[in-house]
Structure 1
Amino acid sequence: MKIIYPAYGSKTKTTRTVGRSFQALVLMLGITVAMFGGIGSRLAYLQLVEGTRNRQLADNNRIRLIPKQPERGSIFDRKGRILATSRLSHSVYIWPMAPKKPEWDSTKQRLAQILQMPAAEIQQRMDKAGVNSPSLIRMARDINPAQITALAEYKNQLKDVEVYIEPIRSYPNGQIAAHILGYTGEMNDNTLAEKRQEGYRLGDVIGQMGVEAAFEKQLRGEWGGQQVEVDGKGRVLRYLGEKKARSGQNVHLTIDLELQKAAEKTLGDRQGAIVALDPRTGGVLAMVSRPTFDPNVFSKRITPAVWRSLQKKDHPFVNRALRGFPPASTFKIITATAGLESGKFSPKTRLQTYGCMNIGGTRFCDWNLAGFGVLDFPGALAWSSDTFFYQIGRGIGGPTLIEWTRKFGFGRKTGIELAPEEAKGLVADDKWKRANYDLPWKVGDTVNMSIGQGFLQVSPLQVAVMFAVPASGGYRIKPHLLRDNEEAKKWRESLNIKPSTVQTVRQGLRQVVASGTGRALSSPTIPPAAGKSGTAETYKQKSHTWFGGYAPYNKPEIVVVAFAEHSGGGGGKICAPMVLKVMEAYFHGQKAKGEVGSR
């Protein structure tokens, strides 16, 4: 059987070939539908699913932000005097499309010459931001008048370079309170990766240490700026709107600027620290560390030469008021308290002191190698007898002494807002010694600890907190920098020390000044004071020296601790005069206001 197809003339098909041409048409139609379906699906996906993102990319190509940096909140002392503020300065920005232009190499070289920065650094910043950056890219802050003039003279060669006036951090007192305030600077790549979710961007300035870092959220503010539409060459076509920058919040500290200046002058160029605080509230009145730095240098680009000059000092960015050192005989305050609270010794205890004692097979000597005869607790504190406190430590045992050491706050951070910079110190025990030396705790370790030597490490701030315990009548205070006018009871915790213990320790600390090793603090220029000296032995170097005190003795208003690193000498000779000068500055200021305490 044959079927004739007129359209094909003589072509014939058998029953086996019938319909095959229709199959081809159907196949072609299916392929076409599939192709258009895929394209349609892709278009639908790009528009409906990825539409927002793609519109954002498109906007980024034509919309730019001329940034307006917020004014950072100011920092004030307890009396409203400025510690840190902002001033207006000139900053240099580059349009992100600049590297795509033929003249980019000449622009980069000219700008590097004017800003005195490597051309490679300019290129690196541009590459990091990318040509699709939604905002201009900052190259330099706080440029000088000569650079401003040069940028104006070469304006025709620097068409993609903009100069804007914006606030920059300023510390009007220079180095004063540098370790408290810290400094600000542009974020590095690692910090930016951590902070991007919080709204930070490339080139943002952030608090790098001190109060600037601790109160970053309050001080920061919020960026603003003008949104502009640009063409493919980066030229501004029109302004789209403006968002006002929101200034950061001001922060008021417990610091007293005049007392801080006095403490800075008193410590001078000596390596060490001074801490002054209110034993009633824990408010830090002054905190000094040497060597130091000027935080203003970080308000602009740090050149390699400037950085090298800073590094010539012995760790100027380390706040020694928050780092650990052996407390020496200042620690006898805790040994006396632990002994009296243990029940094994009473306020009437009297012990024979010796030039040297053999304890656990080791010879332990008094600092004068002769002893002081028979002493009670106040007398032992007054003369800082080592052999008296060896006997107290041995009598109560290591666990009891360690327990009271931790009650006073040693071995942990104090709670001050500068936590990232604060060391916990070290209160060693049997577990620690076995882990680090593979040896058990022995009686010799307890004896060493009883006079503030051995493994013990505490900071000048922790020592100030220790002195505040007898000064406040048995409370451990929490030192703080933020002045919030809260009641003192919210900043302190009772250690449940017996009144008789407090009285005995306070009597001893008073005798230190009246007739003992701290007579340098006995002066008619301040109310009657109490205190304790300390001299810490160090390996193959000069000793550290300490003195801590408070006044007035019967109603304390201020605790001052001075620490001199590797000074040699004794604490009563080196550090007590420093404590006196700071107290004189404090009480002179109080007298001027008619607020001097009872004498």
Structure 2
Amino acid sequence: MREKRYSNVTRYTALVVIMLVVFAVIIGRLFFLQVVKGQDYKEQSNNKSIREIPDIAPRGKILDNKGRILATSSQGYMLVYNQADESDKVFFPTMSRVFKILDDSGESQQDDFELKINPFRFEFKSDDEKTRTNLEIKFKRDRGLNEPIEKKIKSENKNISDDELKSMVNKELLKISPKDTFKKLVKQYNISTAYSLNQQRRFMIVKDALKMQSFSGYKPVTVASNIKKDTAFKFLQMLNELPGIDVTTQPIRSYPNGDLGSNFIGYISKISSNYEKYTEKGYDVNSDYVGQAGIEGAFEDRLKGSKGGRIVKLNKNGRITEELGKREPYPGQTVQLTVNKDVQKAAETSLENTLSDLKSNPNQMTGSNTANATRGTAVVIDVNTGSIVAMAQVPRYDPNSFAVPGKLSSEMYNQYFNPDLEQFGKNYIESRGITANYPGESENEVLDTLFPIDKSIKNNSTIRKDVYDIYPKPFYNYATQSLVPPGSTFKPMTAIAALESGTITPAFTVNDQGFFDQGGKIVQFKTDGPQGVVNLITAIQKSSNPYFMTVGKKLRDAFGDDILAKYAWKFGLGANPKSSVKPATGIEIPEKYGQVYNTASNRNVYADTYLWKTMSILKNGQDDFGHKVVTVDLYDRNDDSNQTTATKNNIKTLIRNSIKDGTSSFDRSEYKKLFSELAVEDPDNKKDVSDSQMDNLINVIYSITISDAHAQLKVPANIENAAIGQGLNQFTPLQIANYVATLANGGTRYKLHLVKQYLDPNGKVIEKVNPEVIQKTGISQDNLQAVKAGMSAVNERGTAAKVFAGFPIGTAGKTGTAQSLGNQEQVGRTDYAEYIGFAPSDKPQIAVAVVLFDGGQGGKGAATVARDIYSAYFTSNGTLTGQNSNK
């Protein structure tokens, strides 16, 4: 019994001892955690004390074909603000001092904040109104302005769907003016209105950046970018006086040649679309910059590099006290282009000088007023590889303006993205005296004709459209995006089709009397005048329209309407619309692709063109003959319901089909049914339409679609006009240059490319871009030689002989003049001046295509640009001699 009691006591004692030891360990650990390491863990528990600070990778270089820098990145000093409890308490006095130091040092605060003042407005970097609207909605949603609106709408509409809620909220957000948005943010960011308006906005820029970057973790925000070294050291000496402020370095994108090649190089800018795509790729959509347009945009994945980062510890003043870990950034790849910087510069300079001369001396060419010669482009191709040697244009832009946030001034922003077309239009009309072309109309009425209010934007009374393509657009790549009629530069293509099909021989002649009979309609060519009897070579040399219209007629009579297209497609001038392959030149940057005349495309073009005409007539309530018709709005609007949109689309499809298929697709009962539905569904359209009004409406549509549009689809004039480069024929200057290169090299069409090779950051080649053949045309060399002989005659004794007189290298070419618009002179525009060519003529190396918008005839200005390009290219290659081999 005693032994048992002793055993229990022993066990109890042992248990107590164990418990005491356990409690001692726990108490000791708590003392260690709370007292010894308490401050450290307190800081770590606050997600603001330990942060990962991203280190942006230097963006890869862009080089020309000889390795000369077109775009690069260099380290620049950057002033940042780290948010912390103590620094936040003195944010306003601290930032006030910072702003004064920046101002006194001649520095600028980083400012890519889209909400501006004086006057209050938004500046979103897009020239598309719909995109700007979407960006405004996102701006306000990101800052929580949608939340009280949503709460109110939900309280009033208990069963509202998510889509309906979003739509209603967006409408209400757009009603918040820029000024009211500013006021709401002033309140949200606790900014005192005692500060001046300018000071309020300066604080707001930093506060807003903090809010936006908090979505992806607490990071330092940039206060000023690319500051001078002296300014950086000034701040470094004052860090203890400026809680939260620090100086660091970051790669800054730079373009040492300014605007040289900006149309294909592109620029970098803040992310403004495709947010989900960039987020998935690891971008911070609130602060990261990405390539926009050109090479910068097309090769973003190669150029961007890999971000690095530092895990750091901050003290209560936002100062880095310890670096806990680091991941080095890795620079992006270098993209070396095929472009020759010297040839590019020569092409740009020649375009500028030529256009300036045409604009300053607008009446130097008979029948042309070149006062609006503000735009032009030139493309140069290596005929044996498809490499782009130069792609120049006027106007351009300086991508450096976008590389540093805030460098883009409001004046530049408006010029690029939000031009005042009303003021521009008034100046244009007054300087050109265009009101004289509109008898009885005031200047404002003419303004509304040339630059009408964009009625597709609901409740819009200020935003105008450039419907006649008058305003020069720096961000528009005229070489790859602009579709222009080729004019007489297409005649060598017509000659190839006729020779290859056996329709004519080089000896075929026509007596050019200065006119052509198009089925009873006499087309006069007053500028050219009679050329007499011409064969193939002299017809190309003298650019005889009657000769090539006769050839077009013969082609149609023998082989039908699509014979010209059959051969043009081989040279990249359009593509078979029935093909499943997306047509392209191969260029790495975005492009449009024009089409040659063919019956399938002709139907589609007429369907679109006359649909727009129908919509305009119905919107205005009057047809071309002055007959009144009930007004119907078929334009798409942001606030259309899904049912209204569907009904409008069904009506538009019916109109297109009527144009393409004629009476077989004109269903009066279906038109009546759809218009009746639209009258009920759409509040913007008339509710009550009488039977007589409905009949009149359908009759007007019949007149446009059947009597006018469909009747024109198969007239012989279509291919006759196409044979001289007019009518449906429209191509980009890039396509035209590729066609010339294919002709020059003997019939091999190469894939066009801007990129020569890709290099790693150390300059080692990763991948070369080799020439790639798209198609062997199989054209007879004898036929090609006959066409080339005609093109050589153009430069030796034809329409470009004056320009190339005395040039030391043999060249071949073709001038072109193409009508820009049917009413071009009335609206103040004139013909496109065009030139195509290649050199040397006996063994071609490069091909050139030049287009001057509103440049008049191609035999002067456009040919001059080509000559200057040849001079630069052959000088650069060291092959230009003093001997004139043209003679």
Quote the residue 1:17 is aligned against: none
One-letter code aligned to 2:213 = A
Quote the residue 2:756 is aligned against: 483
Please list, as runs of the form range in 1=range in 2, the aligned pairs for 1:201-220 lying within 5 A after superposition.
Answer: 201=284, 202-220=286-304
- Quote the offset at 1:415 in angstroms: 1.5
CA separation of 1:208 and 1:433: change in aligned 2, threshold 3 A: closer
Secondary structure of the corresponding residue to residue 402 of structure 1? helix
- Quote the offset at 1:575 in angstroms: 1.3
Query: Structure 1 stretches of 5 or more lacking a match?
Result: 1-56
Quote the residue 2:168 is aligned against: none
User: Normalized against structure 2, the TM-score is what?
Assistant: 0.57
CA separation of 1:90 and 1:306: change in aligned 2, threshold 3 A: farther
- Quote the offset at 1:381 in angstroms: 0.7
Contact 1:321/1:460 (8 A) holds in 2: yes
Deviates more, 1:99-108 or 1:216-225: 99-108
Which of 714, 717, 730 is the matching residue for 1:444? Answer: 717
- Quote the offset at 1:91 in angstroms: 2.0
Supply the distance in 2 between the matched residues of 1:413 and 1:192 (Cα, whole angstroms): 28
Which of 118, 142, 146 is the matching residue for 2:226? Answer: 142
One-letter code aligned to 1:169 = R
Supply the distance in 2 between the matched residues of 1:132 and 1:435 (Cα, whole angstroms): 49
Contact 1:96/1:130 (8 A) holds in 2: no
Which of 409, 413, 438 is the matching residue for 1:307? Answer: 413
Quote the residue 1:371 is aligned against: 530
- Quote the offset at 1:481 in angstroms: 0.8
Quote the residue 1:84 is aligned against: 71
Contact 1:140/1:300 (8 A) holds in 2: no
Quote the residue 1:435 is aligned against: 607
Which of 836, 839, 848 is the matching residue for 1:551? Answer: 839
Which of 330, 338, 341 is the matching residue for 2:500? Answer: 341
CA separation of 1:530 and 1:224: change in aligned 2, threshold 3 A: same
Quote the residue 2:281 is aligned against: 198
One-letter code aligned to 1:345 = I
One-letter code aligned to 2:750 = I
1:15-36 residue CA offsets vs partner (Å, 9 max, x unmatched): xxxxxxxxxxxxxxxxxxxxxx
Supply the distance in 2 between the matched residues of 1:204 and 1:433 (Cα, whole angstroms): 42
- Quote the offset at 1:84 in angstroms: 1.3
The answer on 1:290 being equivalent to 2:380 is: no
Contact 2:236/2:246 (8 A) holds in 1: no
Contact 1:97/1:132 (8 A) holds in 2: no
Quote the residue 1:403 is aligned against: 566
- Quote the offset at 1:216 in angstroms: 1.4
CA separation of 1:592 and 1:362: change in aligned 2, threshold 3 A: closer
- Quote the offset at 1:74 in angstroms: 1.2
One-letter code aligned to 2:586 = G
Quote the residue 1:66 is aligned against: 53
The answer on 1:280 being equivalent to 2:280 is: no
Deviates more, 1:95-104 or 1:425-434: 95-104
- Quote the offset at 1:558 in angstroms: 1.1
Deviates more, 1:500-509 or 1:358-367: 358-367
1:277-330 residue CA offsets vs partner (Å, 9 max, x unmatched): 101101111111101111111111234244235566821111211221121110
The answer on 1:516 being equivalent to 2:792 is: no
CA separation of 1:127 and 1:532: change in aligned 2, threshold 3 A: same
CA separation of 1:99 and 1:229: change in aligned 2, threshold 3 A: closer
Supply the distance in 2 between the matched residues of 1:487 and 1:526 (Cα, whole angstroms): 32
CA separation of 1:252 and 1:150: change in aligned 2, threshold 3 A: same
One-letter code aligned to 1:458 = F
Supply the distance in 2 between the matched residues of 1:240 and 1:149 (Cα, whole angstroms): 25
Q: Which has the higher contact order (CA 8 A, sep 6+)?
A: 2
Supply the distance in 2 between the matched residues of 1:206 and 1:374 (Cα, whole angstroms): 60
Contact 1:327/1:534 (8 A) holds in 2: yes
Contact 1:526/1:587 (8 A) holds in 2: no
Contact 1:141/1:299 (8 A) holds in 2: no
Quote the residue 1:224 is aligned against: 308
Secondary structure of the corresponding residue to residue 483 of structure 1? strand
One-letter code aligned to 1:321 = A
Which of 810, 826, 830 is the matching residue for 1:542? Answer: 830
1:377-418 residue CA offsets vs partner (Å, 9 max, x unmatched): 111111100011111112222311233333322334321011
Contact 1:138/1:203 (8 A) holds in 2: no
Supply the distance in 2 between the matched residues of 1:367 and 1:335 (Cα, whole angstroms): 22
Supply the distance in 1 between the matched residues of 2:555 and 2:279 (Cα, whole angstroms): 55
Identity of matched residues, %: 31
Contact 1:549/1:561 (8 A) holds in 2: yes
One-letter code aligned to 1:503 = Q
Please list, as runs of the form range in 1=range in 2, the aligned pairs for 1:153-164 lying within 5 A after superposition.
Answer: 155=239, 158-164=242-248
Deviates more, 1:527-536 or 1:362-371: 362-371
CA separation of 1:204 and 1:360: change in aligned 2, threshold 3 A: same
CA separation of 1:285 and 1:442: change in aligned 2, threshold 3 A: same
Please list, as runs of the form range in 1=range in 2, the aligned pairs for 1:27-106 lying within 5 A after superposition.
Answer: 62-97=49-84, 101-106=88-93
Supply the distance in 1 between the matched residues of 2:491 and 2:77 (Cα, whole angstroms): 56
Supply the distance in 2 between the matched residues of 1:187 and 1:132 (Cα, whole angstroms): 15
CA separation of 1:486 and 1:295: change in aligned 2, threshold 3 A: closer
CA separation of 1:99 and 1:495: change in aligned 2, threshold 3 A: farther
Which of 466, 478, 488 is the matching residue for 1:320? Answer: 478
Which of 795, 812, 830 is the matching residue for 1:530? Answer: 812
CA separation of 1:146 and 1:299: change in aligned 2, threshold 3 A: farther
Quote the residue 1:384 is aligned against: 543
Quote the residue 1:169 is aligned against: 253
User: Normalized against structure 1, the TM-score is what?
Assistant: 0.82
Quote the residue 1:414 is aligned against: 585
RMSD across aligned C-alpha pairs, in angstroms?
Answer: 2.9
CA separation of 1:474 and 1:132: change in aligned 2, threshold 3 A: closer
Of structures 1 and 2, the larger Rg is shown by 1
Quote the residue 2:776 is aligned against: 494
Which of 581, 584, 594 is the matching residue for 1:425? Answer: 594
Supply the distance in 2 between the matched residues of 1:159 and 1:142 (Cα, whole angstroms): 21
Supply the distance in 2 between the matched residues of 1:304 and 1:431 (Cα, whole angstroms): 45
Contact 1:521/1:576 (8 A) holds in 2: yes
Supply the distance in 2 between the matched residues of 1:173 and 1:479 (Cα, whole angstroms): 24
Secondary structure of the corresponding residue to residue 325 of structure 1? coil
- Quote the offset at 1:185 in angstroms: 2.2
1:151-206 residue CA offsets vs partner (Å, 9 max, x unmatched): 55864564212221122111111121121211122323x34432111121232221
Please list, as runs of the form range in 1=range in 2, the aligned pairs for 1:564-579 lying within 5 A after superposition.
Answer: 564-568=852-856, 570-579=857-866
Contact 2:244/2:317 (8 A) holds in 1: no
The answer on 1:460 being equivalent to 2:733 is: yes
Supply the distance in 2 between the matched residues of 1:520 and 1:413 (Cα, whole angstroms): 36
1:558-589 residue CA offsets vs partner (Å, 9 max, x unmatched): 11222211122x21111112211110111122
- Quote the offset at 1:132 in angstroms: 6.8
Supply the distance in 2 between the matched residues of 1:96 and 1:388 (Cα, whole angstroms): 77
Contact 1:555/1:598 (8 A) holds in 2: no
Quote the residue 1:264 is aligned against: 348
Deviates more, 1:146-155 or 1:330-339: 146-155
Secondary structure of the corresponding residue to residue 878 of structure 2? helix
Deviates more, 1:267-276 or 1:428-437: 428-437
Paired residue total: 537
Secondary structure of the corresponding residue to residue 336 of structure 1? helix
Secondary structure of the corresponding residue to residue 571 of structure 1? coil
Contact 1:520/1:576 (8 A) holds in 2: no
- Quote the offset at 1:220 in angstroms: 1.0
CA separation of 1:475 and 1:99: change in aligned 2, threshold 3 A: farther
Quote the residue 1:469 is aligned against: 742
One-letter code aligned to 1:275 = V
